[in-house]
Structure formats: structure tokens, C-alpha cells
Chains A and B, each alone.
Chain A
């Protein structure tokens, strides 16, 4: 029997979903939707009579104080009777096979109540004052995503929730022998393999030598393992590069730039090398305190988020959390970060290519995804950024990062022959089939329909219990190695763990969500919330007990054999067999052509403008504006280790780096900062990368990081790097990573790339169009604060203090916020002087140690005056700033009327503002060795900012600055 239970608020005021729907409809110009009502609907299937279902509704589904419920057999007319005169009923429900967390939770609760064998699916119901077609289209535009949900107007015609089917063992041979290149290319495309012709040649030849063609499951395994997503084949390829610095040939681009820098730094550090495990595990591991190491990873989840923002961002975060959990012998996640690059949220609907989700809805979706997953995981989301640029319209970028802490020595893990292959966590369904290869293919307006299978919904609670179980099993030392099931599913996870030893896997033992998956599907499914562990047989019993105690399913599905072969079985039959060496080393390498032009420099043209007026304009620009509406949706304080929050001071001003205690109850801190100079990507990719790295480092140094313990991460997001002119800028960015890491002695410890961020569509005129994202490097800096009690914050503290700037200012306005604000076009490209920058960073850190700094803020987006404004907003007090006292280097070409604006808003990297307590000037000055610096103002009790320029002074209330800075939060939030 299939029942439906509708649960709704007793009164309209309590119906938030309805209010949001009406507001949303108004916002996107849907007429006639002046009112709405909603209900949480539950489909319950089982051997239950009406009284039983009513009991379930009372005890489990409805709140007796605020809600009412209606129980009926599905399809009953009473379920679609109008409410408050709203006559059209729309149901939004997850498509069959799509994860339904609420439904799963309800099913589990019913089992707790003794109703074993009942199934529940959740849905949302809307009563709308629209005709059926309008109602359906409004639901699609506002609350439903057809990649994962069905929209049904009127009564539901469902008869059963039972899904799945049966699969009987079979092996599909994929004939490669004799295929010409065109046919191979077609085969790769048709099967969504993302393999090049050259790679398919290698596969064909390998199997030819074996005297047969590959089975589907073998070909799929190779495609997953060789995917850009899994092995970064572009960045590790030989590259023949023609750049501004001349011609360079790399045998392995990443190895000879980013990795090489880390190796050189480690060698120069010798015995005091503090890197532990870099570029080999799921995250990078470095020393922390006497008995702990910390690890960090930042991932991208761009393609899935473009199609299903909520699920894409949530599973992106879930994935990077598992990366940290799956590092060494497991690490405990202690902090998350998230960075989004999206198109301006006011992009007009007419400017949206077909298949593109409006940026406003996309941003709301990815924020909600990170919120609902991260908050449920009990991991504080402490750092992040949002960058807005039209170039991200078709390919928004979603970066998720996690920091973990592990016992010292926990980074060393090794699978042993005879260990059991154990899969733990969620069950396996058809979720995310081809996610790895999908993410290596360019998006198109058809992607939503083509690749829906690659989109997933996360179930955070399953991952939370998985984390609790894994950390307990690690404490008891019950496994030899662990990795997460991410892209490629078991095929990648088991494949990597078995890379040297090989393994026998019985795929029919993999716990399934529903029957009917083929062996191949079970093997490559990217179902979420799963980890693979190598468990010594003698520890199996204890491990199973630990799993049961947390309500986690753990299943032994095979053995690591030492045969060097990957043997896949189904009920005893051989489903496929691969030589591990070929799988991991057999991929052919091809030399890539790369070209990069000289940086584009455009002479600055200034418009006359007031300082205060320009400042308000800059503070209101989306990149600079407060992200409070996002930050407050994230639990950034759970776990209790919070020291420096993303919003600080009496006025809730912005933070630079954010700090948490690495171990609760101890005073050593972990500090996170990010840097993103995407606006320079097309002008000068080298400086884009260099500026981003400096920004990330400056952020954490301002917060009190030890400059000798900074670890870096790179996340390259690029267009189609098969084009030499697109690969060129990537090579330049890699060169910058190498040079800056060496200069700052800050090793890269991990990284990730997302290529092919190109969106293709056919426009109204029938012309094929495509757009590529601007070259984007996200730099993440992981620092350490020796004693969090000395951590720094940017908010101004005491009237009477002096305000000093450290570092030389220049009129660098190309790609700057003041340019976006329309006060200037072009100008010098903000350029990093690494040696000067290093001296500045060391001087600032020394000043902090000397106790002569009350507040510290790095100068980045919006320049000097914007930074001072942010300090006054946080402190809720005022400041006087004398621009004529700022160490400023400009040639004669700079017109006099532009000098103040250039000083105030130029974005020269590597500058800091420090609040010096009165009486601390001498101590401060003693630490300023060989760096340009000067006192440029003072802190005022009155909440007003006074800016003194060559042509007189201007005053503006801090309340006005705060209002401008909060514009975006008011509009978007």
C-alpha cells in the first residue's frame, strides 16, 4: 500500500518556503504569483493501514504545535484540494535513483519504530494561483532542477516506490582491433570515455598483445584511471613552451615547476624540513606540533555544480572531506573553506546561453549546498571568497577545501599482501556514473540532459557517521591504508590502493542501494560517502564491531593479492582482468604545444573623481563587499577551536586569515588564507598567479602566521588546454608558482586542476558559440600561529594609535577594483617584487612579535583606502589617513589629479597596514629593516574616516562605509 502524508504549517506566517517562492517569483518577473502554500510530502510504502500511517505522522512527521497533517492513499482527490483558494498543486520530487536524504532518514526512523520493510520518499508540494503550465514552469525556474527532480502538476500517478531490476552476469567485449582513428574517436565520445585516439591505440595494442579485445569493464577502468580528473595528464605531460621568457621544454610540466620548487625547499631545509607527505597522498601533510601533523586539500567541483549547484557543491565538499579522512592512516577534519567564481548575480536573463542556470540562483544553490553539508558534518567553514566575472557564466567554479589533523607518524600507510579490501559507508547506486570522465569533457547547453547521471546529491549524515567510525578504527589501529571513493568510484580507489600489489575483487559483494546494477556500474559508480580500507584479516572482526557501533556498513569485497593484477569477479565469474602496471604506467605521453604572448599593458586613463565617493563605490563592488549573508549561513565555530573568525570586532569587519586551534585545549593555531587575482588572468597569467600567492600569504601573515611555516596549494582552473594559446598561460602560472614558492620558502604540498572549462552552445541566430573561463589560479596558504593568544585581527582597537603602511605603493590599476568602478581604465599590471615582498612580510611578522602591533591588515582588492575603511568598520571607530605620507613610486606620466586616486586605490601586492599603540612607535620602527614604510595616520574615537590628499581632505562616516560594504549582503541575502 502506498500512502501520502502532507505536513504543513498551521498558519501562513509559518510557511517560509511559500514566502520564498513568492519572493523568488517576483524577483524573476513571474506574474500572478502573489501567494502560495507549501507542504512537506511523504510517500510511505509498506504493509500499513490508515491508523498506523496516522500514528507515524503524529509521532514522526508533524510538529503538534506548529503543523497539521493529512494522510491519504496516493492519488486521492483530497490530496489536491485547493488551500486558501490556491487551486494548482505542483509536486517536486527526486527522480528515481537520486539520493533522497530525508526519505532515507524517515525509512530508518520507521525501522526504529518497528516498521521494517517500509520505504519512504520525500517530496515538496506547492499550491499556486497559476494555471498548470505556468505553475510547472515557475516550479522549474525557482525550486526544481530537472537534472535530479521531477515536477508533477496535479495528483501523483505513482503506484510503487520499488526501483531497480535485475542484472544477470555477462561480459561485453568492445572491439578495438581494426578500428580507424575516426571510429576510435567516436567510440570514446559515444561511451563518454574521454580517451584520446593515441590512448585508445595504446589500449588496443595492449589487448592485441593479449590476443583479445577489452571487456567493457576493463575499458571503463582504464578510462577512469587515465582521466584528466584522476591523473592530471595535461599538467604532467611534456610541454614545448614558447613564452615571454623565451622557449622552454619541459619533460613533465608539474614535476619541473611546482614539485621541483618543493623539492628544492625541502633540500635547503635539510634536517629542519617540515614537510611530511607532499603530492602523493589524498592531501598534503606537514609537521604541526610535537605529536601532531596537519594536512590540507582543496578540490574543485565545477561541472557538477554548473548543472546542479546544491548537489554539486555539497558533494564537492563531501569529497574533499573524504580526501582528508583518507590521508595516511586517517586525519580528523577540523576546518573547511569554500571559494566560488560566478557571473555577476544581476546578469540579465537575456544574456544567459541556453542551459545556463542564472548566477543568482546558482550562487544561492552552491552556498546552500556547502551550508547543509558542512554544518551537518560539524566541521567549521572558516575561510573563503566569492569572485564575480562574466567569464564564469557557463562554467562557474566551486572550490572546496578541508584541513585535517592526525597523530604524528600517521601519514605513513602501506597496503600489505593479504589485506582485505573493505568498502565502508553508503550503499552503491547508479549515482555519478562517468563523473570522472564527465569532468574532463567540456560542458554544453545539452549537458543537463546528457550527463544528469553524473550529478549527485550528498547525504551528510552518512558521511558524519563514516568519519566517526574511521577515526575510531584509526585510534584502534585496525587498518593499514585508507582512501576515499571519489571520481571513478571503486575503480579508482581500489585501483590506486592495488597499484603495486594487485587485488581480487568480488563485485557482487558490493552493497547496493537497489538491485540491477551491472558489475561495471557497481565498479565505476561514484555513489557518495564511501571509503575503501585495507584491513589485515586479524583486525576484521574488531573493525566490523567499530562500524556497527556507529551504524556504518562495512563490507569485505576482496583481497590485496600481490599478483600485480586487478581481477574483477561477479559470483565467481571473471568480469575483467587488468595488469596494474599497464593500468598505471601504460598511458602514452604526448608533447603538448604551448604559446604565451607578452603581457598586455594599457596606459592608464583617469577620470576625475572624489576619494570618498570612489571609496563607497569600491566597497560596494561584489568582490570587495561583505559576504556576511554567506558567512553567517555556515557554522564557523563548531568544534570550539575558533580563534579568529571570518567576521571580527565590534563592527563585524572582514578578517584576513582565519585561525582555529589545531588541537582543542592547546595554543598552537592553524591559519587559512586564499588568494585569487583572476582579473589579471587574461592580462598577465604569471602575475595573476604570483599576485594570488602573495595575497594568500599576506592574508595569513596579517593574522599572525609564522612566515617560516607556510604551505601552499594550487588549484588551476583553465579553458581547453589542447589549444597552445590556452596552455601557454597555464605554463606561465606554473612558472610563477615555482618562483614564488622558492622566494618565500613556502612549499606547495598539494594541488588540483580543472581543465576544459569551456561552454558551447548555439545562439538564437543558429551560430555555434563558446566561452572559456579566464585563466584562474586559486592559491591557498596554510599557516601556523605559534601561540593563538598572539593572533592578530584587522579591526582598529584604540583611538590615539598610529596607522602605518609597510611596503611600497605604485599606480598599479590594471584589473583593479577602482578600474571596475569606472574611475580609470588600464594602468600598470600589479607586479610582485618577490625580494621586497619577502622583506616586508618578515618585517611585519617581527613587528607583531615585538608587541608593537594592535591590528594588522593586508592591502589587496580596492587598495590602501579600502583596507583602512575595512579596519574602521570592524573596529567601529574612525581613522585619519594622509595619502601624501604614503611611500609611493610613480613616474612623471601620472597626472597630478590622479595621484591621490592611484595612491588610494592602486593594488600593488605585498603591503600591510598596522595599528601601532601610542608609545610603541620606536619598537615598531626597530623591526622595519630595509623596507619602505611610514606612519600615514592615526586612529580616531569618532567613527569617521578622514582622507588627506594633495588637493585637500575629505571626511566620511564609518556608518556610510559600512552601509556601502554591506550592499551585496542586503541584496543577495
Chain B
């Protein structure tokens, strides 16, 4: 059969679209980068795609709050298209700024009336941080993390602190397996939570596990040579563990 198709949706200020598209291709899919203006003019452009990915970046500069204007644009101009896409079984992946966008659109972790159950606030350091973290996957319906346990990925963000609306919301999300990715202690036991996220939460999915957002960047660990300690330790021709998320996504729609 034909390779699955991923639509990598970009907006002004998106800046991880090329490597994210390449990650899908590397995993065996076909990826197309599309500007949100173009998609708004012709929503049908998404019809032949099974995966919609909102990559990292600083959409519209993130000058007000990360992802907010991109989300606003999606809600106002592409709301129906997104719901249709999800309802026909399409996968939606939001990475970093894309995760922030998914929360702001209410496509992820929102009540029926659209009010939000969680947000991504400024890091407790008050600063942008680029570093590698160790992550632990928990049992969940999330198709992107299927079969994954512990992995290392880089984070690079200023607004990644996961904050639930209330303890009750956190308990419900946890019980439903909707917060399946958490920052874990590194090999020498040092905590790697880089932003003060509540309960070390690094990623969240909807109840079906087919809409998923995460702060770490899987597209930045496709090849071993992207790891900060690969020299003389990892086979430079081996894959990075980030590739597994893209392979899982393609498998889930094949």
C-alpha cells in the first residue's frame, strides 16, 4: 500500500518544520509542509493525509503567550477541518510549540464546553532552556508511545511547565492514562524536570491516544549523532530513540 502521509502545518515563526517533515520521511512516511494560510484557503489539502503534525517554533513570535495566536487562527478558520480530521481517525501530534497550540485550541485536555483542563506556563527558571532530559513512558492509550519505556530527548522551550487546572483534573487525567510521558531521574538519579512541570508531566494525549502533545523534541533524536555524548560511545549510524514516535505514528495509520 501507499506510505502514510503526514501534513506538517506551519505558521509564521514555526521553525522545526523541515526536520520534523524529514523525521516522518526517515520513518518511511511521506511528509508535506503546508502554511496555515494555504490550508485555510484550501482545507481539502489535508484530505489525503492521515497524520497532522504541528511542529516546534515560535508561532507568531509567541509574544503574547506561546501558541496562542496560531491556536486562535486554527479555531477560527480551521476548527471544522480539525474536528473532521480527528473524527475520521487521523492522528494529531503537537511538538513543543505544537503541544502549546493543541492545548490552546482545546483539541487536547479541554471540557466539552471548551474550557481548558491544563496549560503550559513559563518555566520556573523564568528562562528558555535547551538541555537533554530522561523520559519515562507510562501505560496509556497513546499510540505514539506504544511499546516505549525510558528514553532521552532534548527540550528547548521557555514555556513548558505543565499546570493542571486542579488536583481533581490531574487525578482524572492520570487515571485515564492521558499524561503518559514524564520527566524521569537520569542514570545517576538526578531529576531532569527542566521546567517545574506538575507531576513531571512532559506530554499528554486525548482519551483515544490519537491526539498527542509533548514538550521534548523527538525529531531532534533521529540519528545517534544528535546525542550530546555520542562521540566514541554510540554507533553514529544507529537511530535515535526519537524516531520510534514517528514509526509508531505511521504504523498506527497503516
Contacts and interface: CB of A to CB of B under 8 A. Distances in A.
B222 interface: yes
B236 A645 contact: no
Nearest to A16: B126
Main secondary structure of the interface of B (DSSP, over half): mixed
B81 to A, nearest CB: 17
A638 B122 CA distance: 20
B12 A465 contact: yes
Contact of B126 (A17, A65, A640): A17
A280 interface: no
B156 interface: yes
A652 B156 contact: no
A68 interface: no
A634 B130 contact: yes
B233 interface: yes
B242 to A, nearest CB: 10
A63 B121 contact: yes
A81 interface: no
A60 B68 contact: yes
Given A17-B126, A378-B15, A378-B16, A640 B61 contact: no
B233 A797 contact: yes
Interface string A625-651: 000000111111111111111011110
Nearest to B57: A378
Contact of A639 (B19, B127, B164): B19
Given A102-B64, A642-B220, A647 B128 contact: no
A704 to B, nearest CB: 9
Contacts of B58: 375-376, 378, 460-461, 464
Nearest to B158: A375
Contacts of B19: 638-641, 664
B127 A633 contact: yes
A649 B234 CA distance: 11
Interface in B114-147: 115-116, 118-119, 121-122, 124, 126-131
Residue with the greatest number of chain A CB neighbours at <10 A, chosen from B37, B57, B232: B232
A551 interface: yes
B251 to A, nearest CB: 22
A106 B62 CA distance: 10
B121 A551 contact: no
Kindly state the interface size class of chain B when it binds its partner: 35 or more
B35 A64 contact: no
A376 B16 CA distance: 11
A793 interface: yes
Contacts of A797: 231-233
A20 interface: yes
Nearest to B194: A632
Given A19-B126, A643-B225, A637 B60 contact: no
A921 interface: no
B122 A16 contact: yes
A696 to B, nearest CB: 21
A855 interface: yes
Interface stretch (A46-54, A107-115, A348-356, A411-419): A107-115
Given A376-B58, A649-B229, A632 B64 contact: no
Interface in B222-254: 222, 225-226, 228-229, 231-233, 236-237
A695 B122 CA distance: 39
A642 B121 CA distance: 28
A185 interface: no
A792 interface: yes
Contact of B61 (A60, A376, A788, A793): A376
A679 to B, nearest CB: 30
A59 interface: yes
B27 interface: no
Contact of B63 (A66, A101, A113, A636): A101
Given A464-B13, A648-B231, A664-B22, A637 B122 contact: no
Contacts of A375: 58, 128, 156
A247 interface: no
A637 B127 contact: no
B126 A789 contact: no
A279 to B, nearest CB: 31
A644 B231 contact: yes
A109 B67 CA distance: 12
Q: Which of B38, B69, B225, B236 has the most CB of A within 10 A?
A: B225
Contacts of A248: none
A791 interface: yes
B65 interface: yes
A106 B69 CA distance: 9
A105 interface: yes
A89 to B, nearest CB: 22
A649 B126 contact: no
Interface in A734-783: none
Nearest to A652: B228
B165 interface: yes
Contacts of A261: none
B16 A65 contact: no
A61 interface: yes
B152 to A, nearest CB: 12
A102 B165 CA distance: 26
A847 B35 CA distance: 48
Nearest to A651: B229
A664 B73 CA distance: 31
B206 interface: no
Contact of B220 (A105, A106, A637, A792): A637
Contacts of A792: 231
A854 interface: yes
A568 interface: no
B163 to A, nearest CB: 6
A640 B18 contact: yes
A377 interface: yes
B169 to A, nearest CB: 9
B72 interface: yes
A797 B230 CA distance: 10
A14 interface: yes
A665 interface: yes
Given A66-B121, A464-B12, A549-B38, A632 B130 contact: yes
Given A465-B12, A664-B22, A795-B229, A105 B126 contact: no
A788 B225 contact: yes
B163 A65 contact: yes
A550 interface: yes
B69 A105 contact: yes
A637 B130 contact: yes
Contact of A461 (B60, B115, B131): B60
A802 interface: no
Interface in B165-194: 165
A106 B57 CA distance: 18
A791 B231 contact: yes
B74 to A, nearest CB: 11
Given A65-B116, A637-B220, A371 B128 contact: yes
Given A14-B121, A65-B165, A108-B60, A789 B237 contact: yes
Contacts of B35: 549-550
B154 interface: yes
- A-B CB proximity, top 5 nearest: A378-B15, A640-B19, A461-B61, A16-B126, A789-B236
Given A550-B35, A795-B231, 18 more contacts: A16-B126, A19-B126, A59-B72, A66-B119, A108-B60, A108-B69, A112-B69, A375-B128, A461-B60, A632-B131, A636-B130, A637-B130, A637-B154, A648-B228, A649-B228, A789-B225, A797-B231, A855-B231
Interface of A: 14, 16-17, 19-20, 59-61, 63-66, 101-102, 104-106, 108-109, 112-113, 122, 371, 375-378, 459-461, 464-465, 468, 549-551, 631-645, 647-650, 652, 664-665, 788-789, 791-793, 795, 797-798, 854-855
21 contacts: A14-B121, A20-B126, A64-B115, A105-B64, A112-B69, A371-B128, A461-B13, A461-B61, A461-B63, A464-B13, A549-B38, A551-B37, A633-B128, A634-B128, A637-B130, A640-B23, A640-B222, A642-B226, A649-B229, A789-B236, A795-B231
